[in-house]
């Protein structure tokens, strides 16, 4: 029987974070080493909507739920390997959702200050994150262009604001 070491158990969820896709196993181990290991009991609040966010939470084990659904009482499940507050690792941010533990939850909290320090010590970490954010931004821009084209086709031409925005984006890229 294969048994994961504690290090493997902690690093494995980091390998599933899209933002970390370009990082080496050693870089992920360093992120895990610097991360806070936090335990929550059922009902404990992991993040509070509107609170200042200083890092992201990665669910290592257990399940949580997001309480800020579209309808009152909506509870969206959050599974192992999920990341909560991803952008808070990089920029000043507020948590957009209240997330509570559904059962016992082990999280890694990747604090912005620790990640910035790691990027200063190893600039290839910053390069890897930059690469992934650029890819994500390009996919988002392409999706917006597809939506704009679909809307333009259904309206018989682009709305004036969309045409101006497209011209502005084209000039930048």
Answer for the pair 10, 58: CB distance below 8 angstroms, yes or no.
no
CA distance 97 to 79: 15
Ordered by start, the domain boundaries in the chain are 6-121, 131-172
Burial of 35 (0-12, 13-18, 19+ CB in 10 A): buried
- What is the structure's pLDDT at 113? 96
Burial of 157 (0-12, 13-18, 19+ CB in 10 A): exposed
The helix (run of H) or strand (run of E) holding residue 107 is: strand 105-111
Give residue-wise pLDDT tens across range 28-42.
999 999 999 999 999
At the second CATH level, the architecture of 6-121 is Sandwich (2.60)
Give residue-wise pLDDT tens across range 91-144.
998 999 999 999 999 999 999 999 999 999 999 999 999 998 889 889 988 888
The helix (run of H) or strand (run of E) holding residue 36 is: strand 36-40
Whether residue 161 is predicted with pLDDT greater than 90 in this model: the reply is no
CA distance 89 to 87: 5
């Amino acid at each position: 029987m294969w048994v994961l070491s504690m290090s493997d158990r902690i690093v494995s969820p980091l390998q599933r974070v899209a933002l970390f896709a370009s990082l080496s196993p050693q870089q992920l181990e360093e992120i895990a080493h610097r991360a806070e290991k936090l335990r929550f009991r059922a009902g404990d609040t992991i993040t509070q909507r509107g609170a200042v966010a200083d890092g992201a939470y990665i669910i290592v084990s257990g399940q949580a739920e997001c309480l800020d659904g579209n309808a009152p009482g909506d509870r969206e499940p959050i599974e192992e390997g999920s990341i909560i507050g991803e952008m808070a690792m990089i920029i000043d941010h507020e948590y957009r959702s209240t997330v509570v533990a559904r059962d016992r939850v082990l999280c890694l909290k990747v604090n912005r200050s620790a990640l910035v320090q790691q990027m200063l010590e190893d600039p290839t970490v910053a390069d890897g994150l930059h690469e992934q954010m650029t890819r994500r931004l390009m996919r988002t821009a392409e999706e917006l262009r597809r939506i704009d084209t679909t809307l333009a086709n259904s309206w018989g031409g682009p709305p004036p604001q969309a045409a101006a925005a497209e011209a502005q984006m084209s000039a930048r890229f």
